[in-house]
Amino acid sequence: MKTSFNDIVASHPLVLVDFSADWCGPCKMLGPILKEVKNDVGEKVKIVKIDVDKNQALASKYQVMGVPTLVLFKKGIQVWRESGVQQKHQLVELINRNL
């Protein structure tokens, strides 16, 4: 059984979604940053990567115009969104502020 995006976002208290694409240079830069964030915050947040080319309907639903776009969901509700590469300390602070 495949878990839907909505199920993932609704079933975790905090979900950081990375809308990205394989061809996107800044997206490649963001990957290692998100790994470091995950190492810092552990189970406080679930990080999900969404390929906009393979999930065009989802990208359209969330009006993703550029990649990378990060969206933070708290209990299924979008509470923050930013396009472009974000720094590790900014993301860790954001997650801790939303716990």
Q: What is the distance between the alpha carbons of residues 39 and 98, in angstroms, rounded to a whole number?
A: 17
The pLDDT confidence band at residue 60, using thresholds 50, 70 and 90, is very high
The pLDDT confidence band at residue 23, using thresholds 50, 70 and 90, is very high
Q: Is 24 considered catalytic here? A: yes
Q: Is 41 considered catalytic here? A: no
Mean pLDDT computed over 58-86: 97
Q: What is the distance between the alpha carbons of residues 63 and 74, in angstroms, rounded to a whole number?
A: 18
Is residue 34 within 8 A of residue 18, CB to CB? The reply is: yes
Entry pTM: 0.95
Residue 72 has pLDDT above 70, yes or no: yes
Which of the following is catalytic: 5, 8, 13, 24? 24
Is residue 93 within 8 A of residue 45, CB to CB? The reply is: no
Domains annotated for the chain, with CATH where assigned, are: 5-97 (3.40.30.10)
| Residue-averaged pLDDT of the chain | 96
For residue 61, the model assigns a pLDDT of: 96
Residue 18 has pLDDT above 70, yes or no: yes
Q: What is the distance between the alpha carbons of residues 21 and 67, in angstroms, rounded to a whole number?
A: 7
51 contacts: CB under 8 Å, gap ≥ 6: 20, 21, 22
Which of the following is catalytic: 15, 17, 27, 50? 27
Mean pLDDT computed over 47-65: 96
